[in-house]
Amino acid sequence: MIRAIRAGGGPQYPQPATEAPAARRTVVFVCPQGHNVEVTFAADAETPEVWECPKHGTESRVWYSDTGVGGEENAVPRTGKTHWEQLCSRRSEPELEQLLAERLSELRAARVSVG
């Protein structure tokens, strides 16, 4: 059976089941921004120490590999602060109360002008 996917795409033949896929392994890199980047390599390929993050362009470090390269010591350290603690480190409580009052008055003014 011959199929064409698109014009000029050429024929596609069914792949014979005689060829086994190459052995591979997954390496997880952790970005400084905190998310993971999973990259699949051939099983015999050398694992790089860093990988460029596709979202931020920063250097991601090896965190986990099927071969045990990397590990917790390469993970991004977490501060352990809650959102509230982070907010309080940037603004004082009176500033937060003032900001809340301003935003609420803006919302109330917008509601009055619409209705």
- Predicted confidence at residue 68, as pLDDT, reads 47
- Predicted confidence at residue 74, as pLDDT, reads 44
CATH number of 22-78: 2.20.28.270
- Predicted confidence at residue 5, as pLDDT, reads 59
- Predicted confidence at residue 73, as pLDDT, reads 47
Q: How far apart are CA 68 and CA 108, in angstroms?
A: 57
User: Residue 30: exposed, middle, or buried by beta-carbon count in 10 A (0-12, 13-18, 19+)?
Assistant: buried
- In which residue ranges of the chain is pLDDT below 70? 1-17, 64-80, 115
- Predicted confidence at residue 111, as pLDDT, reads 86
- Predicted confidence at residue 87, as pLDDT, reads 85
